[in-house]
Amino acid sequence: MFHINVLVSEPSLNTISSKDTSTTNKITLKVALYPYLPDAGGDNYTGLLQFITDEFNKVYPDIALQLRPLSTNDDFYDLNLLSKWLMADGSGYDIVEIDTVLLGDLVNIGLVAPQFINSRSQADWHAAANMAVHINHAIYGFPHLLCTYFLFTRDEQIAAASTIDQLITALGDIPSEDYRLVGNMNSSWDLSLLWINSYQESSESPVDAAAYAVHGYTKSSFENMLKLTGLCNRSRGENHCLDGTFKKYSYMPTVLFKENKTAAMFSFSEKLFSVLKDGSLADYNNIKLIPLPIGTAHNQPLFFTDALVFRRNMSDDMLNASRLFAEFMGTPRMQAAIVGSGDKPGSIPRYLLPMSKSAYDDPLLVNNRFYQTYFRNLTGLSCPTVGFLNARKQLQATILDYIGYAK
């Protein structure tokens, strides 16, 4: 769910809103949703936004919902942009969906305030999502969607791996002309987050591992990253995971995996949308997903959470409208509709992970092989929500130095 090469945009006046243009006696609620998800409708997300708006207006007709058009050119990781969007005077947006890796930074600069959460809604949250929105024993956002790194493969032995050494045994430890593992590591986001995941999967006390991985690492602990990056080596000395090839041609790992030209691929679950779109029934039945095994102790995913946060200084009516929208987006039906492409009948799912545990029982997901076999019972910990933004580039440099790769 992370990205690169984005353009900064100012708040847009071109919003998706109710077809009823009358706003008399209505509260206008302005929302910027996180844009990095598959475009199941192939229409630049306009159908998805209209679906959300129409469904919300059926339940809350007295709230005039305005959704910012989704664009991957918007940098949802730029604190300056988020500061403008979350201005307390309401000149930006009332609600912004953020990656909670930034939540602590937003709290520290005073952009968001703690929220009151309906306990019945909270009981349905995935444990990692619940963890992601807690800071200092207070809740600062409503979780929306989850993702984590998966290993994609068609091979039973590879899918049985639970540690980095078992993965090396399954993929082979000698580079050849063939690709063994593909995915992008030429990123301060991805390489550093993979490291945190590896550290956690190698720790006997995984609850505290993420903090130590960000701030208390030692060079001796990067051995697993050396092993992981080595799985991308080819016999001609190429390593497209690190040399920028897969960063420049971001579609390339998916194409290689889709065409059976690599034994395995690592990515987020939503990459399945690209793999299975226009694909064969055999792939739906044969592709296997496991949490990426890059540690030494256990294979436990590190979850990343998107959450809805509110600007400060809201009136009581605006705060109530914001809570109603956030709780609406967290209902099992809307969770299943977003991840399962309910806005586009006939499309395959987006294969994002719902934060609602009950969403897996929705008709859109209940018979889906991947949601029921690979996603439903996943447990793990949350990615750090404080300190990573400023630490990631130094982490990347330290890892590259350890593995002997000049950036």
Q: Using one digit for the tens of pLDDT, what is the confidence trace for 350-400?
A: 999 999 999 999 999 999 999 999 999 999 999 999 999 999 999 999 999
3-class SS letters over the chain: CCCCCCCCCCCCCCCEECCCCCCCCCEEEEEECCCCCCCCCCCCCHHHHHHHHHHHHHHCCCEEEEECCCCCCCCCCCHHHHHHHCCCCCCCCCEEEEEHHHHHHHHHCCCECCCCCCHHHHCCECHHHHHHCEECCEECCEEEEEECEEEEECCHHHHCCCCHHHHHHHHCCCCCCCEEEECCCCCHHHHHHHHHHHHHHCCCCHHHHHHHHHHCCCHHHHHHHHHHHHCCCCCCCCCCCCCCHHHHCCCHHHHHHHCCCEEEEEEECCHHHHHHCCCCHHHHHHCEEEECCCCCCCCCCEEEEEEEEEECCCCHHHHHHHHHHHHHHCCHHHHHHHHCCCCCCCCCCCCCEECEHHHHHCCCCCCCHHHHHHHCCCCCEECCCCCHHHHHHHHHHHHHHHHCCCC
pLDDT of residue 24: 64
The pLDDT > 90 percentage for the chain reads 86
pLDDT of residue 281: 87
Q: Using one digit for the tens of pLDDT, what is the confidence trace for 22-44?
A: 556 899 999 999 999 999 999 99
Q: pLDDT-derived band of residue 1, with 50, 70 and 90 as boundaries?
A: low
The answer as to whether 376 is a domain residue is: no
- Return the CATH number at 207: 3.40.190.10
> pLDDT at residue 13 above 60?
no
The answer as to whether 377 is a domain residue is: no
Q: Using one digit for the tens of pLDDT, what is the confidence trace for 161-212?
A: 999 999 999 999 999 999 999 999 999 999 999 999 999 999 987 777 888 8
The answer as to whether 175 is a domain residue is: yes
Average the pLDDT over each of 196-205, 305-314, 325-334 and give the range with the smallest value: 196-205
Give yes or no: residues 41 and 129 share one domain.
yes
Give yes or no: residues 260 and 290 share one domain.
yes
The answer as to whether 186 is a domain residue is: yes
Give yes or no: residues 155 and 274 share one domain.
yes
Q: Using one digit for the tens of pLDDT, what is the confidence trace for 218-252?
A: 766 899 999 999 999 999 899 999 999 999 999 99
Give yes or no: residues 161 and 294 share one domain.
yes
pLDDT of residue 209: 84
Give yes or no: residues 292 and 165 share one domain.
yes
The answer as to whether 359 is a domain residue is: no
Give yes or no: residues 274 and 339 share one domain.
no
Q: Using one digit for the tens of pLDDT, what is the confidence trace for 250-296?
A: 999 999 999 999 999 999 999 999 999 988 889 999 999 999 999 99
pLDDT of residue 3: 46
Give yes or no: residues 110 and 205 share one domain.
no
Give yes or no: residues 59 and 126 share one domain.
yes
The total of structural domains in the chain comes to 2
The answer as to whether 259 is a domain residue is: yes
The answer as to whether 270 is a domain residue is: yes
Give yes or no: residues 153 and 237 share one domain.
yes
Domain extent for 94: 16-144+305-350
Give yes or no: residues 156 and 135 share one domain.
no
Global model pTM greater than 0.85: yes
> pLDDT at residue 11 above 60?
no
The answer as to whether 7 is a domain residue is: no
Give yes or no: residues 395 and 322 share one domain.
no
Q: pLDDT-derived band of residue 19, with 50, 70 and 90 as boundaries?
A: low
